[in-house]
Structure 1
Amino acid sequence: MRQLQLSKAFTLIEPGPVVLVTTHDGQHDNIMTISWTMVLDFAPRLAITTGAWNYSFAALQENKTCVIAIPTVDMIDTVVGIGMCSGADTDKFAKFKLTPVPARIVDAPLIKECRANIECKVVELVEAHNIVVLEAVAAYVEPAHKEHRMIHAVGDGTFIVDGELIDRRRMMAAKIPYGV
């Protein structure tokens, strides 16, 4: 094996998928690209990593709601473009021709062009690690969405795309939570 710089070790286990997180600050909608996401358990608890360096963070802290929109590979240039500009001076919905759809529970909008959207409430901020713990309060998927493959960031400007679905549900039946 060849030694890897320790500063690049995270690229071996970078989580995914890359998501778009929408917020509403009381006046404006915004979108940020997030590649650090995690599921906390089989309950509807999720987490993202972000902080004050993202314009949307103030809205997350103030309003304590957001939407996690899950884009597919056909949106990769939009996803990267959203991450390369700031909502402080850019209306990202207009610039990237995305359609905001009113959420049912939270103030932040869903994104129509994404395959799935999850309405969330902020339940905890773990400041030491810039982790925002979210509780999902509603979720939607668009079955007619033709593309299903999600994008996973490696962390160095490259991405991996979901591939073939491999089904091992029968083998894992004893470990899969009821209803999943």
Structure 2
Amino acid sequence: MKELPLSKAYQFIEPGPVVLVVTSLHGQPNLMAMSYHMMIADGDRPLIGCMLGSWDQSFETLRITGECVLAVPTVDLAPKVVGIGNCSGIDTDKFKIFGLTSVTAEKVKAPLVAECLVNLECRIADDGLIDKYNLIILEVVKAWIDPDREECRLIHHKGNGTFTVDGETLDLRDRMVKWSSYVQR
């Protein structure tokens, strides 16, 4: 074994895909790329923990409005996602610059992103860890999927501008005997 710098540990733990955090303040939507998130609870009241930098415009907008959309892009959108993550919504209309289509959401004021595979409308469920860790717990209040989307592979941030792409799926449902209620047949 060789020592791994602590700053690299996240590269091997972070399982979730890169998502776009969509916020809106005074009718002005904004996007940011984020890969620091985790499922906290599933079922009828899904909870997602996410960490945003306090320096980001989206962080402040989310704190003010208490709501956002988490849009899940696919690999074909990777160059746009990286571009979104490398500019500020303070001086950039990211929907316009990156050629993305906003769609009115049903339960929150932030728009959905038409080009994304999945859009999750969210509201802040718990803000008790924001000041200490910038950790926000979101409740998903409405979820959307584009069933006709041909490209469904997600991208995962590995650090330093590198990403992995979903690949082969292993089907081990027949071995899921202890938690069979989680297996869809």
TM-superposed deviation, 1:173: 4.5
Distance in 2, Cα, partners of 1:177 & 1:46: 21
Give matches, 1:1-180, under 5 Å: 1-43=1-43, 44-125=46-127, 126-127=129-130, 128-177=132-181
Distance in 1, Cα, partners of 2:165 & 2:55: 27
TM-superposed deviation, 1:30: 0.5
| Structure 2 unmatched runs, 5+ | none
Distance 1:173 1:147, change over 3 A: farther
Q: Matched residues, percent identical?
A: 46
SS across alignment from 1:81: helix
Distance 1:177 1:39, change over 3 A: farther
TM score, norm. by length of structure 1: 0.94
Task: Tell me if structure 2 keeps the 8 A contact 1:30–1:56.
Answer: yes
Task: Tell me if structure 2 keeps the 8 A contact 1:14–1:155.
Answer: no
Distance in 2, Cα, partners of 1:61 & 1:176: 38
- Kindly provide the amino acid, as one letter, of the partner of residue 146 in structure 1: E
Moved more, 59-68 or 13-22: 13-22
TM score, norm. by length of structure 2: 0.91
SS across alignment from 2:174: helix
Distance 1:134 1:144, change over 3 A: same
Distance in 1, Cα, partners of 2:121 & 2:149: 19
> How many equivalent residue pairs?
180
Distance 1:161 1:179, change over 3 A: closer
- Kindly provide the amino acid, as one letter, of the partner of residue 155 in structure 1: G
| Structure 1 unmatched runs, 5+ | none
Task: Tell me if structure 2 keeps the 8 A contact 1:45–1:135.
Answer: yes
Q: CA RMSD in A?
A: 1.5
- Kindly provide the amino acid, as one letter, of the partner of residue 29 in structure 2: D
